[in-house]
Copies of this chain bind each other. A is one copy, B any other.
Amino acid sequence: MSERPHVVIVGGGFGGLRAAKELGGKDVRVTLLDRTNHHTFQPLLYQVATAGLSPADIAVPIRRILRKHENVTVLLADVVRVDVPNKRVHLEDGEPIAYDFLVVATGATHSYFGNDQFAEFAPGLKTVDEGLMIRERIFMAYEEAEREEDPARRDALLTFVVIGAGPTGVEMAGALSEIARKTLAREFRRIDTRKARVILVEGGARVLSSYSADLSDQAMRSLHRLGVEVRLGARVTHVDAEGVSVGDELIPTRTVVWAAGVAASPLARSLGVPLDKVGRVIVDPELSIPGHPEVYVVGDLAHFEQNGKLVPGVAQGAMQGASLVVANILAQIDGRERRAFRYRDLGSMATIGRAAAVAEIFGMKLSGFIAWIAWVVLHVATLIGFKNRVIVMVQWIWAYFTHERGSRLIHGMVHAKVAEPPVLPSKRGKDLASAVTSARAR
C-alpha cells in the first residue's frame, strides 16, 4: 500500500469510540462514521427519559471527543451495507467508502419479538431521541390527567407500565415512582399524583435476572418500598393505544416503556456470515469474521462466548473488545501474530430510585445506599468531559436534597402526532445502565 492503511469504524458508541481513540496518532488513516453527531452515555439515558438530566449532560459530539487525533476523520453518515468482497461500506447517500480494515460497532436495539406494531405505543430507550420522547409522554400524561374529567381515562393516564425488569426497566420503574410520589406531589390541584400506579412487567421469575438471586431480592424489596407493582412471570400479549394486555388482563394506560429484548443492528446481515438468533455476528476468537481477518465486530453486535457464556452487551465488553481489535489491526499491519479476546468481567450495577442500588463489582455484592454512592461515583467519573461531570454532580446533589427533576420540559412534540415508531436501529454498543464502565472510558 502506498498510502497508510485506512481503518473505517462504523458506530460512535463505547466500542467505536475506544477503537478510534486508540488508533489516534498511529500510522493509519481512520474514518469514524455515525448516524448522529454525538456519543451517548447510555447508562444514564433513563435519567434523560425521567427528566433528571438534559441530553447535553450525557451526550458529547463525537468530533469533539476525537479532535486531538488528526489522523481521525469523523463523518455524519448512515451506513446501510458492507460490501465485504470489495472492501467498501455503502452509505445512505454519497459515494461508498473503501477500507483496508473495518470495525463494525453498531450495537443493538430493543426487540419487540416480532410485534413491531407495539413500538408506536411502547418506545424503547436506546437513543437521546427516544429518551426525549418517553420524557414527553410521561409529563404529558400528568398534564392531561389534570384536565381529564372522566375517572377511567384519568386513571389510565395515571398508570405507567414498564415492560422488562432488566437494569433499564428497574431504573425506569424506580424513577417513575419517585416522579409520582415526590417530584410532582404538590404541583397539581385536581389529581393526586401520589396515587399514580407504576407497574413493572417481567416475563421471567425475578427482576435483574442477570444478577445473583439475593441482589434480585434486594431490588425487589426496594421496588416495593417505592410503591412499584411488580408482576413476575407475566407475558405481554398486546400493546395498543388503550393499554397493555398481560395474558387476558388489560391494564389501561397511556404510557408504556419497552425495556425487553435485544435485536442486533441490521447491518450485521450484510456481512454474509452466520448470525445468532437475535442477529449478532458470531465472531472468531480474534473478533474478526470468518474468512475476513480485516473485518472486525465489537460490542453488542458481536456474539462471543467465553467459558460457555456469552460476553454481555455492556460498555466494558465493547471497550475491551475494541482495544483488542486495535492491537490486532496494528499486529496485522506489522506482520505480527494476532491475539484472541479475553473478557474480564468488572461487574455490573443498577439503581432503583433515589439512594438505592445493587452492585456486583470486583467480586463484591453491594446494595442500598453504599451501592448507590458507588453507582453515582462510577457513572459520573466515566462521563466524558470535565464540564459534564461537574454539571451532573450539581444536578444530582440538587435532586438528592429536593426531589426535584430539573429537565421536565415538554418540547418538540407537543403538537405533533403520536411519535413514529423507533425504526432506526441504535448504533450504540451498550445494554442500558447495566454496566460498570471503567475509568478508561474517558
The answer to whether B37 touches A143 (Cβ under 8 A) is yes
A217 contacts chain B at the CB level, 8 A cutoff? no
Name A406's contact: one of B147, B188, B387, B415 (CB within 8 Å).
B387
**A370-419 interface (Cβ within 8 A of B):** 385-388, 390-391, 394-395, 398, 404, 406-412, 414-415
Residues of B near A394 (CB, < 8 A) are 387, 390-391, 394
A133: nearest chain-B partner, CB-CB: B412
Of listed A132, A140, A398, residue having the most chain B CB within 10 A: A398
Question: Known contacts A37-B143, A188-B63, A391-B391: does B73 contact A409 (CB below 8 Å)?
Answer: no
A336 contacts chain B at the CB level, 8 A cutoff? no
The answer to whether B411 touches A77 (Cβ under 8 A) is no
The answer to whether A64 touches B407 (Cβ under 8 A) is no
The complex places the Cα of A187 from the Cα of B57 at a distance, in Å, of 20
A125 to chain B, nearest CB (A): 14
Q: How many residues of A contact B (CB 8 A)?
A: 56
A176 contacts chain B at the CB level, 8 A cutoff? no
**A126-162 interface (Cβ within 8 A of B):** 127-129, 132, 139-140, 143-144, 146-147
A241 contacts chain B at the CB level, 8 A cutoff? no
Residues of B near A187 (CB, < 8 A) are 61, 63-64, 67, 74
Residues of B near A77 (CB, < 8 A) are 147
A85 contacts chain B at the CB level, 8 A cutoff? no
Residues of B near A35 (CB, < 8 A) are 414
Name A415's contact: one of B143, B387, B391, B424 (CB within 8 Å).
B424
A76 contacts chain B at the CB level, 8 A cutoff? yes
A277 contacts chain B at the CB level, 8 A cutoff? no
Residues of B near A244 (CB, < 8 A) are none
A278 to chain B, nearest CB (A): 24
The answer to whether B387 touches A391 (Cβ under 8 A) is no
A75: nearest chain-B partner, CB-CB: B147
The complex places the Cα of A395 from the Cα of B424 at a distance, in Å, of 32
A interface, CB within 8 angstroms of B: 35-38, 54-57, 59, 61, 63-64, 67-68, 70, 73-77, 94, 127-129, 132, 139-140, 143-144, 146-147, 186-190, 385-388, 390-391, 394-395, 398, 404, 406-412, 414-415, 424
